[in-house]
Structure 1
Amino acid sequence: MAMNPFVVDDGDQSNPFASTDETRINPWGGGGGGGGGNNSGSTPQLAGGGSRYGPSAGKTATPPPATPSPAAARQSTATNNAASSSSSSRYKTATTTTAPSGPESNSGGAPLSREMELQRREADVAQREARLKDRERAVGTHDVPNWPKFKPMIYHDIEKEIPLRGRWLVKRVYMAWILAVIVYLVNCIAAFSLLVTNASSGGVTFGISLLILLVGTPVSFVFWYRPLYNGVKGDSSSSFFFFWFNYGAHLGVAALLAVGIPGGVILTLAQFKNNLPSAIICMISSALLIFEVFYGSWQIKSASVYFRSRGMSAEQAKTEAVTGFASSKAGRDIAGAAVKSAVANEVRRT
């Protein structure tokens, strides 16, 4: 029958794993039990009296943990707190340095921030443009003066400022103004010929014609051509009435000049007996004056047709005139003076 090597025979009490060296002393022994500390035939003892093959066999005995002193415990706690504070401060610094703030902390990050900045700038630009448009409507668009060419003082551009529907009328009246300037010049030359040929009242005639040339040229532009220009440009009824009144007066003066004042028909016939070249110049001047009267009458009729076609009326012209006068500086001054006078009278009554 085979013997079980893991079963200890009751008849043999010796430890099969014990050292055969009879002289070796058990280092775990307590020094007693059989003189000389020989551990043969006896159960090895652990420090503290435990059996080597007891419940704790095969485990190394660990000494109980030492209880720290109160001073050491306080020092260890202070050290741990300092380390924890240092670690927390480093974490906060790193978070402050690396974590984006504001809109950049969103999932979009920097691209979202740039998009919001672009939207803000676009809103600012739109607001500025709206402000500029309001200012232009209040003050009016300022263009660089381009007329007259030799010394620009005002802005004048028929193709740019005048609507297509009324451009033909403005061009005709502009030609009428150029014709008036030519008539003034030729009339002055005819009067000078009368002065040179010693015609009767030649000096006075030349003086009047020179004054008409120098003063009539800018006055005619400002008082009858420019009102029509602005009337067609802005559909202003009051400007049309201003044009009719002043241009009618101009044509009346031209008719008087054509009849008998310098360069007129009467002096022309008289000059044929005195000096033929001077008489021819006076005849040309008279013909131009007569042509100007007929051409101007045609333009007045054309302006009337355009006025009615645009649905303008005398009532609208009256309203525009009152509104324009009230908004002008003179109108505001008069209104202010009237208010002050009314308040003073009311104070005196009370």
Structure 2
Amino acid sequence: MADRGNPFGETDNPFQDPAVVEHRPGNQYATLDVYNPFESRGIPPPPPYNEQSAFQAPATLPTVPAQPAAPPGKKTSPTEPKNYGSYGSQETTAAAATADLLRRQEELNRKAEELDRRERELQNTALGGSAGRQNNWPPLPSFCPVQPCFYQDIGVDIPQDFQKTVKIMYYVWLVSAGTLFLNFLACLAWFITDGSQGSGFGMSILWMILFTPCSFICWYRPLYKAFKSDSSFNFFVFFFIFLVQDILYVLQAVGIPGWGFSGWIAAFTAMKGNTGVGVLMIFVAIFLTGTAVMGIVMLKRVHSIYRRTGASFQKAQQEFAAGVFTNQTVRTAAAQAAAGAAQNSFKPQ
């Protein structure tokens, strides 16, 4: 077998190669491999190739400023690092989330109870019809000889989308009724200070007695029925009567003397004779003006809802005709009239 020769040349040991031996670490050639920073604190590492390093370590270590001495009787504690995700803020966030969940839970429970109540009401209505519902308005005490005349429950009868509108119209009626009572008191005070205002005082009594029940029956109840059963006929009744009511609201706010309204003209007229009565009538005039503005705004709002419901005049006519023909009293009267006409036709002349 032929001798292939030594690939490293004449040297048998490759680590004895002069190029390797030249770069071995020695005393005059120190490297970072033999430098221990933990044993040579404060001593800079030796520069390679015995050259002066451009970066020299400081001769002495930086001194840490001394902590001020603690007052006697007080223990010193190490400075705690800042915690940017503080525990207190996390507790506050958790408490707020818990409170929000509790509030939502209470709201859901309240809605569930309301739905159960409405379901029971609807079941009672379906089983017993209108006779199964007892009248509850006006809310009179049990010992009163006069019993409630109407059944009213906006949460049961009115769809969810229209409940707010019906409630606002109910409050408008309450405010108008209370304003008429204040108008009566103001006209009474004016009549006491000025005896020539007897006609205005009498008219204020008439407006209070007449408008309070008639407004509820003539425009509020049709509005209630219109939203309850989507009745075009009741919508038209409401629009016609409430438009007249709005005109009267404006006249009340104007306050023509002698008409029984403590409006602006009557208030400034009474101010000339008695300042206290004038101030009272101005206060009532503000209420009358607010009622007139609310009436106009709500009339426009109800009309916009009416246009979205698909109601029409033709539908109102059909409902009116169906209501007339299905009314038992009308049918009985028509049958009696037809029978009387038939008997007369068979009588000998």
Class of the TM-score when normalised by the shorter of the 2 chains: 0.5 to 0.7
Match of 1:250 in 2: 245
Deviation at residue 236 of structure 1 after TM alignment: 0.8
For the pair 1:150 / 2:140, whether they are aligned, the reply is: yes
Structure 2 counterpart of 1:94: none
Report the Cα distance in structure 2 between the residues aligned to 1:299 and 1:229, rounded to whole angstroms. Answer: 14
Is there any run of 5+ residues in structure 1 with no aligned partner, and where? 1-131
Compute the RMSD of aligned alpha carbons.
2.4
Q: Which residue of 1 aligns with 2:159?
A: 163
- Take 2:281 and 2:132, find their aligned partners in 1: how far apart are those partners? 44
Give secondary structure in 1 for the equivalent of 2:132: coil
Measured in 1, the distance between the counterparts of 2:178 and 2:188 equals 15
Matched, 1:221 2:216: yes
Alignment of 1:168-207 (within 5 A): 168-200=164-196, 202-207=197-202
Unaligned runs of 5+ in 2: 1-123, 142-146
Distance 1:251 1:283 in 2: 20
Aligned residues: 216
SS of equivalent residue, structure 1 residue 140? helix
Aligned match of 1:305: 304
| Cα drift, residue 172 of structure 1 | 1.5
TM-score (norm. length: structure 1): 0.57
Alpha-carbon contact 2:226-2:234 (below 8 Å) kept: yes
Change in Cα spacing, 1:166 to 1:263, as seen in structure 2 (3 Å) is same
Give deviations 1:224-245, integer Å, cap 9, x for gaps.
1111111101111111111111
Displacement of 1:306 in angstroms is 1.3
| Structure 1 residue 199 displacement after superposition | 4.9
Mark the CA change 1:325 to 1:251 in structure 2 (over 3 Å): closer, same or farther: same
In 2, Cα distance between the equivalents of 1:211 and 1:203?
Answer: 13
In the alignment, what sits opposite 1:286? 285
Which SS does the other structure have where 2:247 is aligned? helix
The 1-side partners of 2:208 and 2:125 are apart by: 42
Q: Does 1:326 align with 2:325?
A: yes
Distance 1:140 1:150, change over 3 A: closer
Higher Rg of the two aligned structures: 1
Q: Which runs of 4+ in 1 moved over 6 A?
A: 132-135
Q: Report deviation, 1:291.
A: 1.7
Q: Which amino acid aligns with 1:144?
A: Q
- State the Cα distance separating 1:182 from its structure 2 match: 1.6
2:186 and 2:277 map into 1 onto residues whose CA distance is 7
Aligned pairs for 1:1-350 (under 5 A) are: 136=128, 139-140=129-130, 142-151=132-141, 153=148, 154-200=150-196, 202-259=197-254, 260=256, 261=259, 262-340=261-339, 342-344=341-343, 346-347=345-346
Secondary structure in 1 aligned to 2:140?
coil
Deviations 1:201-229 (A, max 9, x none): x2221222122222321111111111111
Q: Are the counterparts in 1 of residues 222 and 234 from structure 2 also a CA contact under 8 Å? A: yes
Query: So what's the TM-score if we normalise by structure 2?
Result: 0.57
Letter of the structure 2 residue corresponding to residue 146 of structure 1 = N
Instruction: Give me the whole-angstrom Cα distance separating, in 2, the residues matched to 1:192 and 1:134.
Output: 50
CA distance in 1, matches of 2:270, 2:125: 63
1 CA distance for matches of 2:166 and 2:282? 30
Q: Distance in 2 between matches of 1:189 and 1:173?
A: 25
